[in-house]
Amino acid sequence: LQGAHHFSVDNSSFTIVRGNQYLNNAAGQVSSLHVLGLLLTPVGLFSILKPIAGASHLRNRKTCPPDSVCVPHTRQELIQDVTTWFDSDLDQGRIYWLHGPVGCGKSAIAQTIAQELAKTQRLAASFFFFRLSEERRSFKHFAPTLASQIAASFPGAEEYAWNAVRVNPAIVSDPDISQDHQLEQLVF
């Protein structure tokens, strides 16, 4: 797709393929396909997980609120505290609870930190809840969205999500499956 302009891909997912791939054709002959980049497939993990594209830090903040980010050179001490915690030893826990009253800037801080971590390739996934969005105001799409972002970010991670779906296809679609189980199987 290098150099391609003004095209669209509908009802497809993207699978990253690296290295040499060997395919059997109908006559049983093995052919070699050397690919580095994207392979378009009509059905893939992303079409099964149905991630919410507008939930990540990459969303268009004008059309998928909240449209907030820290003004440059503000909140530096708090951002440094969070990134220091992020880079700290795993024994200290993996959940950082950023809390405060409505309108104090929690989303702006989270957006800024996500962008900074993404620049240094230290962000696996992000999800921004938004109470006015049907898809983003509950945990229903949380684990599948994180799993799809992780699968896209880390070579080899897609296999783990596929295995979870193969073992239990209802893990994504059954509303009675707990979010804890979804997170355990799809993300952790």
Q: Write out pLDDT tens, residues 95-154.
A: 888 999 999 999 999 999 999 999 999 899 999 999 999 999 999 999 999 999 999 888
What are the residues whose beta carbons fall under 8 Å from the beta carbon of 179, sequence distance 6 or more? 139, 142, 143
In terms of C-beta density within 10 A (0-12 exposed, 13-18 middle, 19 or more buried), how is residue 167 classed?
exposed
Let me know: does 83 contact 46? Beta carbons within 8 Å: no
SS3 169: coil
The answer to whether the predicted template modeling score (pTM) of the entire model surpasses 0.75 is: no
| Residue, of 155 and 124, whose pLDDT is higher | 124
